[in-house]
Amino acid sequence: MRAALLSTPKFKNLAEVKRILELRGWSLVKANPDYVITVGGDGSILYAESKYPGVPIISLNAGELGFLACNEIDMLEEVLSAVEKGKMLVDKREKLEFTVKGKKRRALNEVLVTSSTAGKALRLNIEIDGEPLGFFVCDGVLVSTPTGSTGYNLSCGGPVLEPGSGAVAITLISPHLSRVNSVVVSSSRKITVSFARENPGITVVADGLESVKISHSEKVLITRAKGKAKLVKLSRNYFSRLEKLFT
């Protein structure tokens, strides 16, 4: 097996992980891996997917909550054994694609449209398949996949979406005089965000990793991406892990 190994700097036992991989006959590579092994939290998984899109990710939680990380670090050999025998599960997660300035970028968790100036609200229009959803004054808007629904989206009052539900959440951040701050739509929909002239600078962010600054004259088109992220795990434990968020 060929694997790329990515780890948070906070993890101090990476040498032991490398030793175990080498003893089991795994080759550590930087290009064209069969799997990506991440040691850390959810941020490590997002980075892995952006660096190696579509490559199965074996995630090992070495953080605090690590909700996306499907396995704990002390399960390393158990997970490797399951992969070697082909007895693991692969959880396929939808991603988003957004287009600005003629370029396309992808996100596993969410696309954030926000003000480039702290304390300045945005004035924006949202359309779903060309049909107006409304005009809003808010700090920003999140379009989240089910994977990202338990992150920033949840903190902003958005709903938790079950993976595989084929839905995305559109959640306003601190909306002014709006009775509803979140709407759930099919992931097959095309979401367009446009802006009023009096807006300050605008920033579009993918998974907190890559940001693009745009002007008020530009639009942001958000759609379902081709291809999916692949998370390797031993069991279907989504709801038992979800319990951690409520206790």
42 is catalytic: yes
| Whole-number Å distance between alpha carbons of 35 and 27 | 10
> Hey, is 50 helix, strand or coil?
helix
Q: Can you state the angle between helices 76-85 and 14-23, rounded to 10 degrees?
A: 30
| Residue 239 CB partners (closer than 8 Å, separation 6+) | none
| Residue 159 CB partners (closer than 8 Å, separation 6+) | 149, 153, 169, 182, 184
| Residue 74 CB partners (closer than 8 Å, separation 6+) | none
| Whole-number Å distance between alpha carbons of 143 and 238 | 21
CB 66 within 8 A of CB 41: yes
Catalytic residue among 42, 129, 139, 207: 42
| Whole-number Å distance between alpha carbons of 48 and 148 | 15
| Whole-number Å distance between alpha carbons of 149 and 232 | 20
Catalytic annotation, residues: 42
